Structure 1
Amino acid sequence: MNILTGDIGGTHTRLATVEQGAGRFRVVDIARYASPDFDGLLPIIESFLHDHPQVQLQQAAFGVAGPVVNGRCRTTNLPWELSASELSTALGIPHVHLLNDLEALAWGIDTLDDSSLVTLQAGHASNQGNQAVIAAGTGLGQAGLTFDGAQRRPFACEGGHTDFAAQTQRDTGLLQALQSRYGHVSWERTVSGAGLVELFRYLLDSQAATTPGWLDDPQQDTAAAISQRALAGDDALCAEALAWFVELYAREAGNLALKLNATGGIFLGGGIAPRILPALKKNYFLQAFMDKGRMQPLLEAMPVKVICEQHTALYGLARYTGLAKAAT
């Protein structure tokens, strides 16, 4: 049976039907929508069903960027309020599951094979150890998987909104600049697409460099433009910003790995990590990841992998739905 799944982000929403066969998941129909163009999830679903009349809706699960409490979510980077029960009623199906988007990603990890992952550090995984997932994109999502004695159970958290911790004089300057504009400064303010832009603008200001004409082009993805120029070696300041971004990403990944004691491994997901793999493979990522004083040996033993399968969250939602149905 096909399951309608959706990965709901602040920038884009992907809806897809997923089917399972021979122990593997496969996307059947998929479409992508600009989230800000809609006033909620239901109009997107209705558009998808209109364009895919062959879909016979029986089960649905959606991963959404924001905290989900009692089947409801006020999205973090969109002015939406979502309710699993209201969606169930509107769609005329008995069960709609609403999960945090990183929890959905975590449910998808066990659907992946080695070809879907890039190893940054092999480590020595504990078969019964906890795992962690961190994903920079429009925001900074985090989740964990805890071993319950039989299998790993994903759980959501909002760790990306914890306080940003400056480690260097440059970090402190950035923190002060962001505090003057935003007040509270979270890790998401620095380790996200918007965060990369903030780093680049700070470097421009602190070095009194000329602002490039392309920076304020409304037709482009500014974070992508910075990373592309950095990886191509076309712009030294872009390269500096990306290297700084990678360092901060690694530091917060190390923080999460320690908080969850992720001896089973930590996974980098989201839209940014696969696009900046050459930078993540440089030594400064692992150096920053393991820069935790007496805890360095623990981090050295943790596998660190990048998720390169773009449908992982959709597979995770389908897997979760299947397990929930089997439990009823």
Structure 2
Amino acid sequence: MTVSLVIDIGGTYSRLAIMNQDHQIDHKQTYINYTHASFTDIINKYLNTYKKDLNDCQRCCIAVAGPVKNGYAKLTNINWELKTEKLLQDLPFKQIKLLNDFHALGYCIPLLTAEDLLTLQAGKRSHHHVKVIVGAGTGLGVAHIKQKPTTLEVYPSEGGHIDFAPINQCQIALLQFLMDKYEHVSVEHILSGHGIEHIFEFVCLEHNIKDEINHFDVSNYTAEDITGQKVIQLAIEQRHPLAIEAIQLFSEIYAAYLGNLALHTLPYGGIYITGGIARHILPFLQNETFLQIFKNKGRMSHLLEEIPIYYILNQNANLLGAGYYLTLTTESLVP
């Protein structure tokens, strides 16, 4: 059976797997990027491990966390550069496709089943209308998807870098706080792992708690060195009231941002949320306040009531999308 190698390179980890013609994922492995000198080292280690199972593997699709243009990608959060031409010289594949990670994610949508989705708002789904996929993690990614009669078109974007648009006095104060740190305050400065750290620091300062937060049972942590992951953990475990406040503020900004995206494209095909942050804060996204803020767009609020919102439960979505992209763009491998 012909198989393909599908790869998802993030800022911290690279995930590699084999995908067969039935879109089934096998032999998935995760590698820590910084422990390897280059991406080629990672892929060769994987190929050596599964060489027997890769005899029929001639195609590879690589989804990367960064912009891709003309077969070239410079990763956003690790100092790696990838060139399709060089990869074809160094690796035993006849076809290699390189694309942005959210470009790849967009192609997973046709493969998702009802079991892969958690419905946050049912809306009035129309399969033939535009879809949006968005996810906060190391950064904030966005892509738009259009289903056509014979194909699927996915349009990647840099929608995480648009200006942060506060909707109340608290968020205006947050913007002012961030303007002291950055020349340009994008929404990614908030809706990301580092963004949660910014929000937590802001909340602590608003409560005049700058140095010591040990009395909230988080000994050895301060507002300056606590991580986004730790803030999420403290909020979900309800161990820290300011962590809960920070994640609540994060989710409210996320909801307003999704509402703005919805007004731009009217995605009656659905908004699909992905990313590790959303997975860990689902109780906040399932809160009625989240949907209220999403729909709070004045005269246009009634339109947003009709837009479905889903969270993608399938954690292989990137790999599935990369494999399906190969299926749609298969070139003849005959010399």
Alpha-carbon distance between aligned partners in 1 of 2:226 and 2:325, rounded to the nearest angstrom:
33
Q: Is the 8 A contact 1:130 1:152 kept in 2?
A: no
**Does structure 1 retain, via aligned residues, the 8 Å contact 2:201–2:223?**
no
Aligned to 1:29: 27
- What does residue range 66-81 of structure 1 map to in structure 2 within 5 Å? 66-81=66-81
SS class of match (1:230): helix
Aligned-residue offset at 1:282: 0.3
The answer to whether the Cα contact below 8 Å between 1:40 and 1:81 also exists between their aligned partners in 2 is no
CA positional deviation for 1:263 = 1.2
Instruction: Spell out the pairing of 1:143-158 with structure 2 (5 A cutoff).
Output: 143-158=143-158
Letter in 1 for 2:294: F
What displacement does 1:150 show? 4.3
Deviates more, 1:256-265 or 1:35-44: 35-44
Question: What is the CA–CA distance in structure 2 between the aligned matches of 1:116 and 1:127, rounded to whole Å?
Answer: 16
Given residue 166 of structure 1, which amino acid in structure 2 is its aligned partner?
P
1:271-313 Cα distance to aligned partner (Å, 9 max, x none): 1212211111001111121122222111110000000100011
Question: Equivalents in 2 of 1:192, 1:214: separation in Å?
Answer: 24
Instruction: Name structure 2 gaps, 5 residues minimum.
Output: none
The residue type equivalent to 1:182 in the other structure is Y
Measured after TM superposition, the shift of residue 149 of structure 1 is 4.4
Corresponding position of 2:200: 200
Q: Which runs of 4+ in 1 moved over 6 A?
A: none
Amino acid at match of 2:6: T
Match of 2:221 among 215, 221, 224: 215
Aligned counterpart, 2:273: 268
Q: How many Å apart are 1:244 and its aligned residue?
A: 0.7
Q: State whether residues 6 and 13 of structure 1, in contact with CA within 8 Å, keep that contact through their aligned partners in structure 2.
A: yes
CA drift of 1:34 comes to 1.8
Q: Which residue of 2 aligns with 1:59?
A: 59
Match of 2:86 in 1: 86
The DSSP-based 3-state class of the residue aligned with 2:180 is: helix
Task: Report how far residue 95 of structure 1 moved.
Answer: 1.2
**Residues in 2 aligned to 1:326 and 1:123: alpha-carbon distance in whole angstroms:** 39
The structure with more radius of gyration: 2
Q: Does 1:252 align with 2:252?
A: no
Task: Give 1:217 shift.
Answer: 11
Tell me the residue number matched to 2:139.
Answer: 139
Q: 2:276 and 2:226 mapped to 1: Cα distance?
A: 13
SS of the counterpart of 2:145? strand
- Mark the CA change 1:237 to 1:216 in structure 2 (over 3 Å): closer, same or farther: closer
Residues 64, 101 of structure 2: 8 Å contact kept: yes
CA contact (8 A) 1:123 1:300 kept: yes
Return the letter of the residue paired with 1:105: L
Asked if 1 retains the 8 angstrom alpha-carbon contact of 2:120 and 2:310, the reply is yes
Distance in 1 separating the partners of 2:223 and 2:11: 20
- Equivalent pair of 2:36/2:42 in contact (CA under 8 Å): yes
Gapped regions of structure 1 (runs ≥ 5): none
What amino acid sits opposite 1:224 in the alignment? Answer: Q
- 1:235 corresponds to which of 220, 231, 240: 240
Deviation at 1:237, TM superposition (A): 0.7
Task: Identify the residue that residue 191 of structure 1 maps to in structure 2.
Answer: 191
Distance 1:69 1:105 in 2: 17
Q: CA offsets per residue over residues 187-234 of structure 1, 9 Å max, x none?
A: 11100111111111111112112344443699x992222112212222
**Structure 1 counterpart of 2:272, one-letter code:** F
Correspondence for 1:311: 316
Residues 280 and 108 of structure 1, relative CA distance in 2, 3 Å threshold: same
- Contact map agreement 1:102 1:143 (CA 8 A) in 2: yes
1:44 aligns with 2:47: no
Deviation at residue 327 of structure 1 after TM alignment = 8.2
Q: Which residue of 2 aligns with 1:106?
A: 106
Q: When the two structures are superposed, what TM-score results if normalisation uses the length of structure 2?
A: 0.91
Alignment of 1:157-196 (within 5 A): 157-196=157-196
Which amino acid is 2:26 matched to?
A: V
Residue 123 in 1 paired to residue 91 in 2?
A: no
Alpha-carbon distance between aligned partners in 2 of 1:327 and 1:155, rounded to the nearest angstrom: 25
* Whole-angstrom distance in 1 between the partners of 2:133 and 2:82: 24
